Structure 1
Amino acid sequence: MGDRAEPEAGRLEQLARSGPYLRVLLLAGLVGVPVSAVAFAFLALLHRLTALVWEDLPADLGLDPVPWWWPAPWLLLGGLLTGAAVKWTPGGAGHLPIDGLSAEPVKPAYLPGVLLAAVGGLPLGVVLGPEAPLMAVGAATALMLARRTQGTPAAGIVGTSGSAAAVAVIFGSPLVAAVFILEAAGFAGPKLTKLLLPCLLSAGVGALIFTGLGAWTGLPVSSLELPGLPDATLHVTDLLWTVPAAVAIAVGVREVHALGRRLAPVAQRRPMAMALTAVAVTAVCAGAYALLTGRSPVDVLLSGQDSLADLSRDPEAFGIGVLVAVLVFKGVAYAVSLAALRGGPIFPGVFLGAAAGVLLSALPGFGAVPALAAGMAAATAAVLPLPVSAAILVTLLLGADAASMTPVVLIAVVVAFVTGRVLDRSRTGEAA
């Protein structure tokens, strides 16, 4: 991803040194207003459809809790819609989730396929998050609004700013959105300040519009956030356990991704067949989890946002057996979704890291909150090797505990990042 971004980064650096830069900066701020409105509508639609399928309809039918077989028909429909989008729409409904997130602008012609795969898959149980299609919606909308910039160096900066505006609230902070996108694009050094300004401006405007639309419409739009965590004190034993915990979680996450990478070439050759296979595997995993644990199959499905909130609010409700089951079954469903479906890879990874951290908190001297923080940080750094973004995202998620848990977060991010690099090099035969 960094190699592909280099030519574009050079063009943007040339633009940043030129006179029209202030006009581009103003355009990025203006684009943030309509982009955030479109992103708000997109997230509100996803939230409403998710609630309809997994809460309203089961309640109306007297199915409480959701039975083990409930996900199967919805996932089948999601697989058909996603497979059709991948196979028959321009752009293949966006990039593969197994490749991470791309900060490259998305062509407006690709937007119908992206929307069909997202709306047709994510609310119906696909184990991916909304961040990737949301970035695509933001970038494509920005480019449509700024048609005159297409084919010029300004197009890249406008598209990137649109992505920042769209994901500002889903990550819970405009700062996270801007840093995340720029780190993903490979910007560094002197380029960073000049290219960060439009993204910060657009993300800030987007967050403001999001907040206003939420208050005005009353529509719920979820973001990646945790409820208030109990006060926690950091001990030396927490720091000592963080290192092996981060290594173990990074290895586990990389193994999940390795499975997805082995399946991805087959999915590219036979998108419809693999999409249906992926949702079938996901349905089996969700049903098996529900039958074994007596809990709702929803724990294994979707992005994990709501399950993450439940886990952090009451970790004792998830016993050791339940945590092991959710890690195994959601991990498998996550791997096949990464390979064959469409969505973002971050949210399920954060949940799996949190679940692994809570499981490891059973170790003597490893507190629940430090273990949760270490798990989320290690998984985020392993899912997407963007250490600065991972550290900022998890730190902000921890809320009032952020200051005391920062050492754990930073150690876990660094250890997981290095572990991931070593694993990557060992698989390619390079010297570690």
Structure 2
Amino acid sequence: MADVDASGAHQSGTGGAQGLGAVLRSRAYVRLLLLSALLGVPVSLASFAFISLEHELQHAVWESLPDALGMKAAPWWWPLLTLTLAGLLLAPIVTRMAGKGGHIPVQGLGGPPIGPKAVPGVVLAALVCLPLGVVLGPEAPLMGLGSGLALLALQYGSRYGKRHGEQGNDPQHAVVLGAAGSTAAISTIFGSPIVAVVMTLEAAGIGGPSLVALLLPCLLASGIGALVFTGFGNFTGLEIGALSLPSVPTAMAPDTGDFLWGIPLAVLIAVVVFCAHTLGRYVVAWTARRTALRTVACAIAAGVCITAYALVTGRTPEEAALSGQATLASLAGQPHAWPVAVLAALVLFKGVAWGICLGSLRGGPIFPGMLIGAALGIAFGGLPGFGMAAGLAVGLAASCSANTRLPVTSTVLATLLLGKDARDAVPLMIIASVVALVTTELLRARFASPSAASTSSTSSTSSTRASAA
């Protein structure tokens, strides 16, 4: 296949069009597109199996087991047991298995590609962390699963080609196909391939023919994968676990008050997210030595935070544990049922637990951050001239932007979550995303340690980062 590198971003006019045409007409690229389309099916099925199993385990730990023990709900001390168990099970994975269970969450969704040999460790780490209450999401393990399966398919394809006298694969094939696999996998949990593709494009930072050459395999793999994922979920009746908000506050066109309150709220959310990431970076440095013991200690510390939330509020610890998908849906559906004091406790205790988990355990960084942003938005929604709908919109967009440093992706994701009521709020979400990103960058420049650059929270696939190199 013709080279797909960043130089394509500098091509324009007829030369750029001819370069793109040469890429699209090449037999190698056509085979890559076909492989990407075929790849969407096994990646989506593997993602379906992973998400379904994770949800079943989560239901067993937090609902079935307490019920079997004669409890109406998980008691306040439950997270101390589950998080301790998570740390004990994760410690040998991160110290002995290939790939160390995946990337450290505070480092973002980028980093070196997850190879096939590391996939078992990534999946196992996620299955011992997420159902037991670790304050992280499933998006990073899904991307690792998709990338690993894609590279495995490429390895088998390369061996088959060599046996039939064909030349070895272009190194760019691994980059593009890894991006396609990760995009297909993460599109299943975001509920739409659009979010995953936009994330890939924004993170890649390339243009011209290079952008199109990367885009097409990702679109094919994620589109077909999402179709198979949703259809298989409907066929089996199992919960597919895609992020969604079944009910949201009634929205109205934002007015001056929404913008006057929304901008400082976006700044506050960015500060909270930055503090959590800073805590995560300190935890990374602390767990670099005596990793097994300190991983367990961090898991216990996260459990203490969740337990403290339950004791202070008198509510179920499940609200502060886990990725936050269920709590986010509850918060958006019934915002007036959440007192401001409870929301403040949720932001404090879940925020600290999230920061600890970001630097020590395994999972994705996005979902808990969105819950914290939504909680702050709802808490401030009662201010005069503001509203619950506007607060939720600002909270979702600003938290995702500060967390991922991808403002376009954040706006698109928040828009899809809010559904038909999001159209009028789009300008407010765009401004919130930009304000949160600028605030985060200013804070990083002012307070972040030099090592923070190496743990940059860039929410991209490993392959898209490589493609921009």
TM-score range (shorter-chain normalised) is: over 0.9
- One of 227, 231, 237 as aligned partner of 1:212: 231
- The Cα shift of 1:189 comes to 4.4
| Distance 1:68-1:17 versus aligned 2 partners, 3 A rule | farther
AA aligned opposite 2:362: R
1:255: how far off? 0.9
> 1:101–1:184: 8 Å Cα contact kept in structure 2?
no
Find the residue that maps to 2:424 and give its secondary structure.
Answer: helix
The answer for the alignment partner of 1:4 in structure 2 is none
Match of 1:193 among 212, 220, 226: 212
Q: For 1:139, which of 147, 154, 161 is the aligned residue? A: 147
Deviation at 1:368, TM superposition (A): 0.3
1:40 positional shift: 0.5
Quick check: 276-285 or 47-56, which moved more?
Answer: 276-285
In 1, Cα distance between equivalents of 2:205 and 2:321: 32
Map of 1:122-201 to 2, 5 A cutoff?
Answer: 122-147=130-155, 148-149=157-158, 152-201=171-220
1:120 equivalent in structure 2: 128
What letter corresponds to residue 30 of structure 2 in structure 1? L
Deviation at 1:271, TM superposition (A): 2.1
Q: For residues 100-152 of structure 1, what are the alpha-carbon distances to aligned partners after superposition, in whole Å with 9 as ceiling and x for unaligned?
A: 11175311011121112101111101000000000000110111122135673
Change (3 A) 1:11 1:413: same
* 1:202 maps onto 2:221 in alignment: yes
The answer to whether structure 1 residue 110 and structure 2 residue 110 are counterparts is no
CA distance in 1, matches of 2:261, 2:373: 15
Q: For residues 357-382 of structure 1, what are the alpha-carbon distances to aligned partners after superposition, in whole Å with 9 as ceiling and x for unaligned?
A: 01111221111011011011111001
1:222 corresponds to 2:241: yes
Corresponding residue SS for 2:89: helix
- Measured in 2, the distance between the counterparts of 1:68 and 1:230 equals 30
Q: The residue matched to 1:38 in structure 2 has which SS?
A: helix
Equivalent position amino acid for 1:302 in 2: L
Aligned partners of 2:322, 2:22: CA distance in 1, in Å? 44
Listed as ranges, the matches of 1:25-424 within 5 Å are 25-102=33-110, 104-147=112-155, 148-149=157-158, 152-233=171-252, 234-424=254-444
Give CA-to-partner distance per residue, 1:183-232, whole Å, 9 cap, x none: 23433444222211110111000000001110111111111111122322
Deviation, structure 1 residue 71:
1.6
Q: What displacement does 1:11 show? A: 9.6
Paired AA for residue 147 in structure 2: A
Distance change in 2, residues 1:67/1:35 (3 Å): same
**Which 10-residue stretch deviates more, 321-330 or 221-230?**
221-230
Code of the residue aligned with 1:36 in structure 2: it is: S
More deviation, 102-111/131-140: 102-111
Task: Find the residue that maps to 1:232 and give its secondary structure.
Answer: coil
The verdict on how the C-alpha distance between 1:90 and 1:55 changes in structure 2, with shifts beyond 3 A counting, is same
Letter in 1 for 2:177: V
Task: Deviation per CA, 1:244-298: give whole Å up to 9, x if none.
Answer: 1101110111011111111211222232122111111111111111111110001
**Conserved? CA contact 2:401–2:410, under 8 Å:** yes
Could you tell which deviates more after superposition, 274-283 or 401-410? 274-283
Distance in 2, Cα, partners of 1:196 & 1:231: 35
Identity %: 47
Q: Secondary structure at the match of 1:230?
A: coil
Q: TM-score, normalised by structure 1?
A: 0.94
TM-score using structure 2 length: 0.87
8 Å CA contact 2:105, 2:362 repeated in 1: yes
Question: Unaligned 5+ residue runs, structure 1?
Answer: 1-6
In structure 2, how many angstroms separate the alpha carbons of the residues matched to 1:195 and 1:125? 36
Counterpart CA distance in 2 for 1:198 and 1:103 is 20
Alignment partners' CA distance in 2, 1:302 and 1:11:
43
Return 5+ residue gaps in structure 2 as ranges.
Answer: 10-18, 159-168, 451-469
Cα deviation for residue 384 of structure 1 reads 0.8
Partner AA of 1:351 in structure 2: L
CA deviation map 1:39-68 (0-9, x unaligned): 110110101000110111112222123211
Q: Tell me if the contact between 1:304 and 1:351 (Cα under 8 Å) persists in the aligned partners.
A: yes
Counterpart Cα distance in 2 of 1:104 and 1:8: 19
Distance in 2, matches of 1:191 and 1:294, equals 54
> Residue deviations 1:293-342, cap 9 Å, x none?
11000111100000000100111221011011111100010000000001
Contact 2:108–2:365 (Cα < 8 Å) also in 1: yes
The residue type paired with residue 74 of structure 1 is: T
Aligned residues between the structures: 424
- 304-313 or 217-226, which moves further after superposition? 217-226
Alignment RMSD: 2.0
In the TM superposition, residue 21 of structure 1 has moved relative to its aligned partner by 1.3
Which protein is bigger by CA-based radius of gyration? 2
Rate the CA distance shift 1:137–1:9 in 2: closer, same or farther, 3 A. farther
Indicate the larger mover: 117-126 or 143-152.
143-152
350-359 or 286-295: which moved more?
Answer: 286-295
Question: Which amino acid is 1:111 matched to?
Answer: V
For residue 415 of structure 2, what is the amino acid of its counterpart? Answer: T
Larger mean Cα displacement after TM superposition, 102-111 or 145-154: 145-154
